[in-house]
Amino acid sequence: MENTGVEYAPMMRDLAASDRPRERLLQVGPKAVSTAELLAIIMRTGSNGENVVRLAERLLSKFRDLPGIARASVGELTQVKGIGPAKAVEIKAALEVGRRLMTSTPEDRFKITSPDDAANLLMSEMALLDQEHLKVIILDTRNKVLDSPTIYIGSLNTSVVRIGELFKQAIKENAAAVIIVHNHPSGDPSPSPEDIQVTRQIVQAGQLLNIEVLDHLVIGHYRYVSMKERGLGF
């Protein structure tokens, strides 16, 4: 066939069974599949010329991850090509179920016991972002996750980051501790001098607020660095 220079996303029927989100979830379990794959399972079908996983990835990019999708209205979701009212309602319903689960069963909240736990919580949604995102994992006295809001999008530097903003939600939640997480779009999770400087300021602010900063993770392409483990900024 003549190469026209146009690439088409393979449809689900053209993918190997091991690459289809439902089959992957059955094989490896829900925690091991990506956020895009989970969304794809909820939506079930893609649009013309685009498989459902690619559609899910585009949706995540448009709204800057799950928190953005959760904040969007049904009308805003349907403005994305391939998302009709039915898909939009299915997505909103699934996210609302998750929200109610988190608020109604605190004993089942995810518990952070190591840097690996924190990285695994956010790796799938942060590893391939094309901009830097900074999130704060907010923890209770038993290191169970209360929330993980996105605080900043864009380059992380001391002139932009307002340290008080990082703790705003943690104070509202009466948090005992936080873990700072941000990504490097280059894929290299090596902390920069700016990362170390910002971390030092965050740790000092946490001490003043009596909110312990347990770690600062830098996520690359499915790799991460624990700055606490390396003694950088702590």
Alpha-carbon torsion (128, 122, 113, 234), positive or negative = positive
Are 164 and 178 spatial neighbours (Cβ–Cβ below 8 Å)? no
Residue 110's pLDDT is 83
1 in a domain, yes or no? no
The CATH code of the domain that includes 39 is 1.10.150
Residue 225's DSSP bridge partners are: 218
- Please write the tens of the pLDDT for every residue from 1-18: 333 444 444 454 544 444
Residue 110's DSSP bridge partners are: none
233 in a domain, yes or no? no
Say if residue 82 is in the same domain as residue 182.
no
Residue 107's pLDDT is 59
- Which among 209, 214, 133, 212 has a CA at the least distance from the CA of 171? 209
Q: Which residues span the domain enclosing 217?
A: 109-226
Backbone φ and ψ of 133, nearest 5°: -120, 140
35 in a domain, yes or no? yes
Residue 156's pLDDT is 60
Cα–Cα distance, 148 to 144 (Å, whole number): 11
Cα–Cα distance, 47 to 45 (Å, whole number): 7
Say if residue 176 is in the same domain as residue 191.
yes
Cα–Cα distance, 200 to 198 (Å, whole number): 5
Say if residue 166 is in the same domain as residue 138.
yes
- Please write the tens of the pLDDT for every residue from 190-209: 999 999 999 999 999 999 99
Say if residue 144 is in the same domain as residue 217.
yes
- Which among 183, 168, 98 has a CA at the least distance from the CA of 134? 183
Q: With the CA atoms of 24, 100, 209 and 234 taken in that order, what torsion angle do they form, in degrees rounded to the nearest 10?
A: -10
- Please write the tens of the pLDDT for every residue from 141-179: 999 999 888 888 876 655 567 888 889 999 999 999 999
Are 137 and 234 spatial neighbours (Cβ–Cβ below 8 Å)? no
Averaging pLDDT over each range in 18-22, 33-37, 78-82, 155-159, which range is the top one?
78-82
Higher pLDDT, 207 or 65: 207
- Which among 153, 146, 119, 156 has a CA at the least distance from the CA of 211? 146
Are 79 and 63 spatial neighbours (Cβ–Cβ below 8 Å)? no
Say if residue 113 is in the same domain as residue 221.
yes
Out of 61, 83, 104, a domain closes at: 104
24 in a domain, yes or no? yes
Backbone φ and ψ of 74, nearest 5°: -60, -40
In degrees, rounded to 5, the angle at the alpha carbon of residue 147 between the alpha carbons of residues 178 and 72 is 135
